[in-house]
Structure 1
Amino acid sequence: MSWNGPDDAPPSARIAALAPALQPSERRVADAIAADLAGAVERTAQQLADHAGVGRASVVRTARTLGYDGYPQLRVAVARELAFAPPAEASTGDGTAVGALRAAVEEFARGLSRVTSVLTEQQVTAAVAALDEAERVVVVAAGLSMPLGYDAAMRLGAAGRPCEFVPDPLAQQIAARQLTASSVCLVLSGSGSSRPTLAAAADARDAGAQVLAVTSFADAPLVRLADTALVVPPVGGTFRDELLHTSRAALALVVEQLVELVAQRRSGRSARARDAVLRVLGESLGD
């Protein structure tokens, strides 16, 4: 798979989103670039090939897979990303637990700029409209993405957009099979490859429902099943980081704001629902 997302998406976001689709030699080149953007700008194609332990042709092929005409264009794009990137002033930690926590949060914050870099106006608008207009919305999420399902369902409900979420994968699949052409199946999956999640998404599509996916990788099987796919690259930057330090924080941030857009589109309906929510919350709080 070659890059077909926004032309202004930075190289690091493209690498993160396409990581699982890259060939082994391309993955080595991409990981070498992601690990040292400044070094990649200074290296020629041959120097980068030697650094990554691959042939020069693999470097050129990687650049084209990432959506550039060749390696020189990729180098320029990397230089541009560095020029507009916030300064790296995060602490490496002071040996304390709070120091390590602070350093990790600062590192995460530096990667937030690419969370929405792969999204397009058309995709986001289509997703918001689908969630607003559907007669029925079923949320599908499993494994580490399951908390996203709970969160999305509660937020949508509080915004006046009734929806359904049950944690059992079999129950999700049963619900998906009962959807119709006027329904939406909102599928949340970091990897986009979970078998139970894919089964439910496929059943929803076969039932004629719109499948709306939120995932981390552009070439995930889930993307191919979806009518609309919102790709949110992992903040870590590489597929290896995603495997070793799996996080759904970026996906949670996007889902939360997606619900806010739905609430804005529903206007008065959301206001009435949120008023009811606040009344319940007020009655539940003690002194």
Structure 2
Amino acid sequence: MSWTGDPSARPSVRIASLAPGLQRTERRVVEAVVQDRDRAVGMTAQDLAELVGVGRTTVIRAAQSLGYEGYPQLRVALAQELALEQAGQESAEAGDGADATALGRLRSRIGRFGARLGDSVSALTPEAVDAFVRALDEANRVLVVANGLSGPLGLDLVMRLNSAGRPAEHFADPLAQQIAARQLGKDSVCVVFSGSGANTATLDAMRAARAGGARVLAITSFSRSGTAELADTVLLVPPVSGGFQDELIHTSRAALMLLTEQLVELFIEHRGERGREARAAALSVLAGVLRD
């Protein structure tokens, strides 16, 4: 498993997405890098190998799995990442000093989060996005599965797809999800949201959909997860705040929500006149329920 996303993606983003799927020794290497990036920048491949207790070739393979030619290129990317973070931190601290109120701190935190939102699309590939949109368009039936904190994303997608002229279903009850998923046929699509990629109810619904012959599309944050392994097409959205631990603690779905909105826009564009007519019909309904 290696990096296939945006070549400009930061090393930390690549590691957050790929680390769970790397070989055990390579995972030890990247974990050591993340633990102390400053130290890693100053080390040679041999230095890092001795620190971790692996061979030099393992360090090189780990760097190549992250999408770099070798460890020197990874060191350069780490140095650039640290420099950008330092500049951003200095700017944020200046802002914090200017406004120490709760509102000021809120603005600062949102600003820092927003500055990293671009990372959320760094792991996407043109092939995966095109396949995702085409599958939505061609399917006879669409079932959206999302549980836990991803649940609201599923409901939002269903509403947006229906407004775009693509009828879609969503069930909050896990058992109802499995039953509906099992009834899907080979011309149907099951769209799955799972930030962690490890929700048991979601995985059960995915297996049911596959048993019924449906195509499974997944939006998740980690390349090596049950969700990613079961899906036919995966849109990988690295966690904006960091790795799996941050996913569990902060559980932000902002990046996934943003992706959902733009995917529906792409879907409407893909459908051409049909998409524009569906949007016009939805707007006419909205106009009828609004009051002065």
Same fold (TM over 0.5): yes
Question: Which whole-Å CA distance do the structure 1 matches of 2:4 and 2:16 have between them?
Answer: 13
Specify the alignment match of 1:78 in structure 2. 78
1:31 matched to 2:30? The reply is no
Specify the alignment match of 2:66 in structure 1. 66
Specify the alignment match of 1:15 in structure 2. 15
Q: Sequence identity, in percent?
A: 53
Question: Which whole-Å CA distance do the structure 2 matches of 1:57 and 1:96 have between them?
Answer: 51
What's the offset of the Cα at 1:80? 5.2
CA deviations over 1:130-155 (Å, ceiling 9, x no partner): 00111100000000000100111011
Contact 1:172 1:200 in 2 (8 A): yes
Question: Which whole-Å CA distance do the structure 1 matches of 2:263 and 2:14 have between them?
Answer: 22
Question: Which whole-Å CA distance do the structure 2 matches of 1:282 and 1:147 have between them?
Answer: 25
Question: Which whole-Å CA distance do the structure 2 matches of 1:264 and 1:225 have between them?
Answer: 28
For structure 2, the residue ranges without an aligned partner over 5 or more in a row are none
In structure 1, which of residues 276, 279, 287 is the aligned counterpart of residue 284 of structure 2?
Answer: 279
Alpha-carbon RMSD across the aligned residues, in angstroms, is 2.7
Question: Which whole-Å CA distance do the structure 1 matches of 2:29 and 2:184 have between them?
Answer: 40
Equivalences for residues 1-287 of structure 1 within 5 A: 2-6=1-5, 8=7, 9-21=9-21, 23=24, 25-26=28-29, 28-32=31-35, 36=37, 40-45=40-45, 54-55=52-53, 57=55, 60=59, 62-79=62-79, 87-88=87-88, 89-91=91-93, 93=96, 94-287=99-292
What's the offset of the Cα at 1:255? 1.4
Contact 1:19 1:239 in 2 (8 A): no
For structure 1, the residue ranges without an aligned partner over 5 or more in a row are none
One-letter amino acid of the structure 2 residue matched with residue 180 of structure 1: G
Aligned to 2:4, what secondary structure does the other structure show? coil
Question: Which whole-Å CA distance do the structure 2 matches of 1:207 and 1:47 have between them?
Answer: 52
Query: Normalising to structure 2: TM-score of the pair?
Result: 0.86
Aligned to 1:181, what secondary structure does the other structure show? coil
Question: Which whole-Å CA distance do the structure 2 matches of 1:247 and 1:78 have between them?
Answer: 25
One-letter amino acid of the structure 2 residue matched with residue 90 of structure 1: A
What's the offset of the Cα at 1:85? 8.0
Which is richer in helix? 2
Would the alpha carbon gap of residues 114 and 7 (structure 1) be closer, same or farther in structure 2, given more than 3 Å must change?
Answer: closer
Question: Which whole-Å CA distance do the structure 2 matches of 1:218 and 1:203 have between them?
Answer: 21
Question: Which whole-Å CA distance do the structure 1 matches of 2:47 and 2:241 have between them?
Answer: 25
Would the alpha carbon gap of residues 44 and 4 (structure 1) be closer, same or farther in structure 2, given more than 3 Å must change?
Answer: closer
What's the offset of the Cα at 1:83? 7.5
